[in-house]
Structure 1
Amino acid sequence: MTLNALFAARPERWDQYKDVLPEAFKAAGLDVHLALDIDPEEVDYIVYAPNSDVKDFTPFTRLKAVLNLWAGVEAITNNETLKVPLTRMVDFGLQQGMVEWVVGHTLRHHLGMDAQIVNPAHEWAPATPPLSRDRGVTVLGIGELGLACAEALVQLGFNVAGWSRSPKTHDKVTCYSGDDGLKSALAHGEICILLLPSTPATQNILNAESLSFMPRGSFIINPGRGQLIDDDALLAALGSGQIAHATLDVFRVEPLPQAHPYWAHPNVTVTPHMAAETRAETCAEVVAENIRRNEAGEPLLHLVDRAAGY
């Protein structure tokens, strides 16, 4: 029997997916009709992006699952019309892209590269950084993406700690958890990388108090979610020197408004939500595999716990 999959993402994304998704379905042994417009009552699966026009899932009476193309699902988890399983995207391309971006900016701050890249006074001022083993790095959020970044940094010799809301263990990453562990985790890292989901429990996890736990002159790298940071508190910490520099890829409002103080701040790097883009070629395999698994009665990959928010 042919299955119907609705592509519910921005129309400009269609050209990226219209060939690779059917190829992935075929490779998985599936007979799936993919289209931008299908009678809601005939839709079996929705390949979804939260910025699509589909907000009410009530008309989709035959729907079996919603397969999100993004890692972030906070825009859909509270949708009361969604009654079927929801998965988030975790795939090789997304993960590898995030690892490369995080490692690149971690090394940039560790080595002090900005001072050489931007040196209008042509100052000859050699400065030897510590070895990676002597630099503490903390990753807030050690799920799939955070753990991949932590492991890559461990391979480079960094002294890495990770923090999560619930306890986790890793043989090469010092793991902290819960409210009690947050202070210790932040105190560990001169470079702090945020890879937490946006949930009520993680809103403003970096605030005036928690920023004070970090070593003076620390660096913040945020490719996670803009809601994780209290912007006013971060600007104050940058002004006092408690935080030396913040590299920010995500913001509460995107695109970041032109008048926002982050743009002009000398110790803030703004990047346009580019750390980890979903790549059609690699995510198509995950979408196809989840449809195959669901049709075979097997557990879905990366199933969202909607109560937890991720």
Structure 2
Amino acid sequence: MPNILFAAAPDQWDDYAPHLRRALDQAGLKTARVGPDIPAADVDYIVYSPNSPVQDFSRFPRLKAVLSLWAGVETIVDNATLKVPLTRMADAGLREGMVEWVTGHVLRHHLGLDTYITDQSGTWRPDAPPLARHRTVAVLGLGELGAACARMLAALNFNVTGWSRSPKSLPEFACHHGAEGLDTCLASAEIAVLLLPDTPETENTLNTRTLALMPRGAVIVNPGRGTLIDDDALLAALDAGQIGHATLDVFRTEPLPKDHPYWAHPRVTVTPHIASETRPDTASELIAENIARAEADEPLRHVVDRNLGY
């Protein structure tokens, strides 16, 4: 049976230990050795988070795969010492949490709930919102999380369009790709949800030029990566009224500095990177499944393409 090193933040092992052991047992790996203290020479798999002290993978001569606990792998994908397959986290809990957060905030902006929550002045304003089928929502990024969010929004009858760097074909909504496709997608996007990976190609996807393509007063919802937005361009677009509101969960620097203009801007909602998180129970199930697949010489799920960076 394999030896599995748990290499993450020191306080995470206590949370993961019972779930990981249970999941390994259920996957037929009952006698697998797992924990944070496996000698390097004996390690077959590493359950990993990039904030782990482990950075040199050449120390593990038997290593077969590294299974990341994070959905984002931008801080590990270019590690020259990593010569084995790397998988990213795409467990059911992470997906469900993201779908719930995105759906909640899209509905919030679609229905104009802020107006009624923040203004109880006694002014009677019976302005009904349009139906969802009359509201176009663009989802930028059609990976595991983006596709799940787009499907849910389409199920709620929003007019959903999707965009990805490379071609995707999803039957529930129209898909666009490439530079021209991005412009087309943004041109009709009354609400844009950003769920792209953090790569050199996706940095500043929303910038002065692309923000200007959107319908005036459009809304940005970003639970993806802070680098997807040119912050100065977004602030200028908000001040000019080109963008009506931005709900932001991720930032270039986290925690977001207290003096950052986003905090005080009346058209910005800051949430502290809570859109979704890896949950020990569902994450452990995916990790155990992947190790069992590897031991059976079956393909791993959610393998990172090192050339694309995700």
With 125-134 and 235-244 compared, the bigger mean Cα shift is at 125-134
In structure 2, the residue matched to 1:280 is 280
Alpha-carbon distance between aligned partners in 1 of 2:120 and 2:130, rounded to the nearest angstrom: 25
In structure 1, the residue matched to 2:34 is 34
1:291 CA drift (Å): 0.4
Tell me the alpha carbon deviations over residues 70-102 of structure 1, each in whole angstroms, 9 at most, x when there is no partner: 111011001111111000011111111000000
1:122 CA drift (Å): 4.0
In structure 2, the residue matched to 1:83 is 83
With 279-288 and 32-41 compared, the bigger mean Cα shift is at 32-41
In structure 2, the residue matched to 1:202 is 202
Alpha-carbon distance between aligned partners in 2 of 1:4 and 1:177, rounded to the nearest angstrom: 42
1:187 CA drift (Å): 1.0
Alpha-carbon distance between aligned partners in 2 of 1:46 and 1:248, rounded to the nearest angstrom: 32
Give the residue type in structure 1 aligned to 2:141. Answer: G
Tell me the alpha carbon deviations over residues 260-285 of structure 1, each in whole angstroms, 9 at most, x when there is no partner: 11111111111111111011111111
Alpha-carbon distance between aligned partners in 1 of 2:118 and 2:80, rounded to the nearest angstrom: 50
1:171 CA drift (Å): 2.1
1:225 CA drift (Å): 0.4
In structure 1, the residue matched to 2:192 is 192
Alpha-carbon distance between aligned partners in 1 of 2:269 and 2:52, rounded to the nearest angstrom: 29
C-alpha RMSD of the superposition: 0.9
What are the within-5 Å matches in structure 2 for residues 96-111 of structure 1? 96-111=96-111
What TM-score do the two structures reach when normalised by structure 1?
A: 0.98
Alpha-carbon distance between aligned partners in 2 of 1:3 and 1:157, rounded to the nearest angstrom: 47
Give the residue type in structure 2 aligned to 1:151. Answer: R
In structure 2, the residue matched to 1:256 is 256
Tell me the alpha carbon deviations over residues 203-252 of structure 1, each in whole angstroms, 9 at most, x when there is no partner: 00000000011100000000000000000000000000000000000001
What secondary structure, in the 3-state scheme, does the structure 1 residue paired with 2:180 have? helix
Give the residue type in structure 2 aligned to 1:24. Answer: A
What secondary structure, in the 3-state scheme, does the structure 2 residue paired with 1:210 have? helix
In structure 1, the residue matched to 2:125 is 125
Give the residue type in structure 1 aligned to 2:246. Answer: A
Between the two proteins, the alignment pairs up a number of residues equal to 309
In structure 1, the residue matched to 2:50 is 50
Tell me the alpha carbon deviations over residues 34-59 of structure 1, each in whole angstroms, 9 at most, x when there is no partner: 11122111111110011111111121
1:124 CA drift (Å): 2.5
In structure 2, the residue matched to 1:163 is 163
What secondary structure, in the 3-state scheme, does the structure 2 residue paired with 1:202 have? coil
What TM-score do the two structures reach when normalised by structure 2?
A: 0.98
Tell me the alpha carbon deviations over residues 120-170 of structure 1, each in whole angstroms, 9 at most, x when there is no partner: 644322221100000000000011111110110011110000000111122
Alpha-carbon distance between aligned partners in 2 of 1:278 and 1:172, rounded to the nearest angstrom: 27
Give the residue type in structure 1 aligned to 2:6. Answer: F
In structure 2, the residue matched to 1:21 is 20
What secondary structure, in the 3-state scheme, does the structure 2 residue paired with 1:277 have? coil
What secondary structure, in the 3-state scheme, does the structure 2 residue paired with 1:234 have? helix
In the alignment, is residue 298 of structure 1 matched against residue 291 of structure 2? no
Give the residue type in structure 2 aligned to 1:294. Answer: A
